[in-house]
Amino acid sequence: MKKLAVVGSINMDIVTRVERFPKPGETLTGVSFSTIPGGKGANQAVALGRLGMPVRMAGGVGDDAFGETYLRNFRENGVDTALVRVFSGMTTGTASIEVNAQGENHIIVVPAANGACDMAWLEETLPALEDCDIFLLQHEIPLPVVFEAIRRLHAMGKTVILDPAPAAPVPEEVLAMVDYITPNETELRAITSAMGEDADAPARVRRLLDLGVGCVINKSGGNGAYVAARGAAVEHVPGFAVKVVDTTAAGDTFNAGFAAGLALDLPLLEAVRVGHAAAALSVTAFGAQGGMPRREQLLTLLGEEWRARLSL
């Protein structure tokens, strides 16, 4: 089995459930309030850990109560925390999240310790990850650091999976070094913003492949994903119909399931299917990590015939 690492953000999510989102200037009464672990990078690591996949997390927390809670959360979910730096005098990243009755969300992130994951941090961290094969990155630590990590990992011959979230442009020379990119519609537009406003999704995907991206997985929520690999026809891989409670971290959980599939040497479209199954289960419970499945739950949704393919 290939070894997995996540290089990315760690946030404590401060979540208020509401019947509906407030309008500007409006005060509403919420349904509940919770403080729960999140962050796009950490969510991907925890989702992998829940599936029983050995995974290393590289990121940063503050030396505050949220940081301590988070380190415990990683350990409880089987995530190796040796490369989670505790930045003294800093607070842990936070995300203020509102979730409405339909399970949709609004998110405001304050990077805090995530912002301290700078070039010097990367310089010290990457050599310790040399034994890992597949790397998951996102856009929630400083973008120049994400892009430099991709350049360095590519030069080291590693497999790079980039979840370009939150949406932001990515330099074309960096895109050329990405093996798998997993944008939703908004993120696809952002990473191909050089094409202007008018280009449609298929043209944007083609552009990414022409630049050198190995495979584009255009996530489309409950509708599944469109998978375009270089030299192959575009395939639609449908998602699973489930009762949605909270969509927070569905994309993160997809990436984790997909990466688990790759680490287990599944064919591309089967790895995407595993991503969908993990994401579908994740939205059936409250909180970024509340619904992330264990392997047995995944098998219940995928079917017993997947057991051998998903064994470690």
The residues carrying an active-site annotation are 252
Residue 159 burial (C-beta neighbours within 10 Å; 0-12, 13-18, 19+): buried
Compute the half-sphere exposure of residue 28: CA atoms within 13 Å on the CB side of its CA.
Answer: 15
Measure Cα distances from 117 to 61, 104, 174, 191, 278 in Å: 10, 30, 19, 22, 29
Sheet holding 11-17, edge to edge: 32-38, 11-17, 93-99, 105-110
164 binds ligand RIB (CB under 6 A): no
Residue-by-residue DSSP string for 80-145:
EEEEEEEETT-PPEEEEEEE-TTS-EEEEEE-GGGGG--HHHHHHHGGGGTT--EEEE-SSS-HHH
Q: Which stretch binds ligand RIB (CB under 6 A): 56-64, 175-183, 245-253, 258-266?
A: 245-253
Three-class DSSP category at 65: helix
Distance of CA 49 to the CA centre of its chain: 13
Pairwise CA distance, residues 297 & 312, whole Å: 16
214 binds ligand RIB (CB under 6 A): no
Contacting ligand RIB (CB under 6 A), which of 140, 179, 187, 246?
Answer: 140
Least distance from ligand RIB to the Cβ atom of residue 38, Å: 2
Least distance from ligand RIB to the Cβ atom of residue 158, Å: 23
59 binds ligand RIB (CB under 6 A): no
Residues 254 to 283: which contact ligand RIB by CB under 6 A?
none
What is the x/- site pattern for ligand RIB, positions 89-128, by CB under 6 A?
Answer: ------x-----------x-x-------------------
Least distance from ligand RIB to the Cβ atom of residue 43, Å: 5
Least distance from ligand RIB to the Cβ atom of residue 166, Å: 8
Least distance from ligand RIB to the Cβ atom of residue 214, Å: 23
**Of 170, 158, 225, 213, the residue nearest 7 (C-alpha):** 158
48 binds ligand RIB (CB under 6 A): no
Q: Which stretch binds ligand RIB (CB under 6 A): 127-135, 184-192, 243-251, 292-300?
A: 243-251
Residues 182 to 201: which contact ligand RIB by CB under 6 A?
none
Least distance from ligand RIB to the Cβ atom of residue 74, Å: 14
Q: At residue 308, what is the residue type?
A: A
Contacting ligand RIB (CB under 6 A), which of 249, 256, 260, 279?
Answer: 249
Radius of gyration of the chain (CA): 18
Q: Could you tell me if 135 and 129 are in contact, meaning their C-beta atoms sit under 8 angstroms apart?
A: yes
163 binds ligand RIB (CB under 6 A): no
What is the x/- site pattern for ligand RIB, positions 5-44, by CB under 6 A?
Answer: ------x-x------------------------xxx--x-
245 binds ligand RIB (CB under 6 A): no
Identity of the residue, 79 or 288, whose beta carbon is nearer to ligand RIB in the bound complex: 288
Pairwise CA distance, residues 233 & 193, whole Å: 24
Residue 193 burial (C-beta neighbours within 10 Å; 0-12, 13-18, 19+): middle
- Binding residues (CB under 6 A) for ligand RIB: these are 11, 13, 38-40, 43, 95, 107, 109, 140, 248-249, 251-252, 288
